């Protein structure tokens, strides 16, 4: 049986806050970059709407969820209701429209798990991927953005965790480690348990959409919740310590599922996630807030779980003992 180890945070953790915050500041995209993203969105929307007047183009993923680093690629989703055309036909037609609109480096990837059109825009210098009718991603992007509005520490914590995960190469889903989306959900969960964030899906719904049989409802008037976490004075360094301490020594990998939908830890047993089903091994369980049968940890296998847990322990120990945690934490992984 897994032994939970509780230890007290080092007394001087807060002295590192300015260092962590300056790392955060260096990763946030500039106003100018955000303006460029919107410029590209507007230009592409104009072009596509000429052909498909009832379609709509959305930004989603890190460029729209408040958790994007500067210079990242942008994710777009085309919403179109056309019963005549298959997704692949739409992708091919979309590539044609963009080509005719003088955009360069267009590639239609019709055989990918999620078919997309890739392009690089010469005017703004931005690269982007456009998918079709992936509206759940648009809705979960809004949920993450809404959480980020409530307390500034979420964005700070998630940026630092993502930066750690990229430096240590544990943000590679094709290698069996976790997506950026999963890491942000893990941060939201921690802040819910510490009463810095509420559980929006447990509150009276003010936002209500149904996407492929998934009812996505939650309280989205987040400007009314700006003081929600104010009674909790923890700094981003102590939250970072708590994050890694939790995943290194407290999370029960045998029994627990983290769930931001409920704001609680729920049991694997209840979700029937106790054994491998197909390719889903459920070795670390992170419930998707809307697609609740979906475990964001499903990509993790028996090799990568070991790597991941060793990295959580390394990070927890650095935050506990290292003289220079804001440097050591991000030292690149060397195989």
Residue with tokens 């998630």: 158
User: Which lies closer to Mg ion via its Cβ, residue 65 or residue 133?
Assistant: 65
Nearer to ligand GTP, 18 or 125 (CB): 125
Q: Closest residue to Mg ion, Cβ-based?
A: 61
Binder to ligand GTP among 44, 57, 135, 137 (CB under 6 A)?
137
CA–CA separation, 187 and 66 (whole Å): 13
Among 23, 116, 126, 136, binds ligand GTP (CB under 6 A): 136
Strand partners for 259 = 264
Q: Is there binding between residue 188 and ligand GTP (CB under 6 A)? A: no
DSSP tally for the chain: helices H, then strands E: 10, 10
Tell me the closest approach of the beta carbon of residue 213 to ligand GTP, in angstroms: 13
Angle at CA of residue 284, ends 282 and 290, nearest 5°: 80
Q: Find how far residue 69's CA is from the centre of its chain.
A: 12
Q: In whole angstroms, what is the distance from residue 31 CA to residue 165 CA? A: 25
Site for ligand GTP in 284-323 (CB under 6 A): 288, 291, 294, 296
Closest to ligand GTP by CB, 36 or 245: 36
Residue 60 interacts with ligand GTP (CB under 6 A): yes or no: yes
Identify the residue among 16, 40, 57, 62 touching ligand GTP (CB under 6 A). 62
Q: Compute the distance between CA of residue 58 and CA of residue 62 in angstroms, rounded to an integer.
A: 12
State the minimum distance, in angstroms, from the CB of residue 3 to ligand GTP: 31
Residue 123 burial (CB count, 10 A): 11
Query: Per-residue x/- mask for ligand GTP, residues 112 to 131, rule CB under 6 A?
Result: --------------------
Question: Parallel, antiparallel, or unpaired: how do β-strands 104-109 and 116-120 relate?
Answer: antiparallel
Q: What does the DSSP 8-state code read for residue 184?
A: H
Q: Applying CB under 6 A, does 273 fall inside the site for ligand GTP?
A: no
Binding site for Mg ion (CB under 5 A): 61-62
In this chain, which stretch among 64-72, 213-221, 243-251, 269-277 interacts with ligand GTP, using CB under 6 A?
Answer: 64-72
Q: Which of 37, 55, 66, 72 contacts ligand GTP by CB under 6 A?
A: 72
Among 37, 58, 68, 312, binds ligand GTP (CB under 6 A): 68
C-alpha closest to that of 40 among 98, 87, 86: 98
Exactly one of 61, 229, 263, 297 binds ligand GTP (CB under 6 A); which one?
Answer: 61
DSSP letter assigned to residue 175: G
Among 65, 156, 192, 259, the residue binding ligand GTP under the rule CB under 6 A is 65
- Strand runs (DSSP E) across the chain, as ranges? 56-60, 74-79, 104-109, 116-120, 127-132, 207-211, 214-218, 256-259, 264-267, 285-286
- One residue of 147, 164, 181, 247 binding ligand GTP per CB under 6 A: 181
Nearer to ligand GTP, 153 or 166 (CB): 166
Nearer to ligand GTP, 235 or 259 (CB): 259
For the beta sheet containing 264-267, the strands, ordered from the edge strand earlier in sequence to the opposite edge, are: 264-267, 256-259, 285-286
Cα radius of gyration (the chain): 21
41 to each of 74, 77, 103, 215, how far by Cα in Å?
10, 11, 13, 28
Residue of the chain from 52, 75, 153, 243 that contacts ligand GTP (CB under 6 A): 75
The binding site for ligand GTP (CB under 6 A) comprises: 60-62, 65, 67-69, 72, 75, 136-137, 140-141, 179-181, 288, 291, 294, 296
């Amino acid at each position: 049986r897994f032994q939970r180890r509780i230890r007290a945070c080092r007394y001087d953790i807060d002295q590192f806050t300015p260092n962590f915050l300056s790392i955060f500041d260096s990763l946030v995209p500039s106003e100018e970059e955000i303006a460029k993203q919107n410029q590209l969105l507007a230009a592409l929307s104009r072009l596509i709407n000429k052909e498909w007047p009832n379609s709509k183009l959305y930004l989603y993923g890190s460029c729209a969820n408040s958790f994007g680093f500067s210079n990242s690629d942008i994710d777009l989703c085309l919403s179109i209701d056309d019963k005549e055309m298959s997704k692949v036909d739409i992708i091919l037609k979309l590539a044609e429209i963009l080509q005719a609109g003088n955009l360069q480096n267009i590639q239609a990837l019709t055989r990918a798990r999620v078919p997309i059109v890739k392009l690089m825009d010469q005017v703004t210098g931005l690269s982007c991927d456009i998918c079709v009718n992936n509206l759940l991603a648009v809705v979960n992007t809004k949920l993450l953005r809404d959480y980020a509005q409530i307390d500034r520490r979420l964005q700070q914590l998630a940026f630092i965790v993502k930066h750690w995960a990229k430096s240590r190469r544990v943000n590679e889903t094709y290698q069996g480690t976790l997506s950026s989306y999963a890491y942000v959900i893990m941060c939201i969960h921690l802040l819910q348990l510490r009463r810095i964030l509420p559980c929006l899906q447990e509150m009276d719904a003010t936002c209500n959409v149904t996407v492929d049989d998934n009812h996505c409802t939650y309280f989205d008037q987040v400007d009314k919740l700006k003081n929600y976490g104010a009674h909790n004075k923890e700094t981003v360094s102590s939250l970072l310590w708590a994050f890694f301490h939790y995943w290194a020594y407290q999370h029960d990998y045998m029994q627990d599922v983290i769930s931001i939908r409920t704001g609680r830890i729920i049991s694997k047993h209840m979700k029937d996630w106790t054994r491998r089903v197909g390719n889903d091994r459920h070795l670390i369980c992170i419930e998707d807030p809307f697609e609740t049968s979906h475990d964001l940890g499903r990509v993790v296998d028996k090799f990568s779980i070991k790597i991941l847990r060793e990295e959580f322990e390394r990070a927890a120990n650095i935050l506990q003992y290292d003289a220079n945690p804001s440097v050591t934490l991000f030292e690149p992984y060397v195989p």
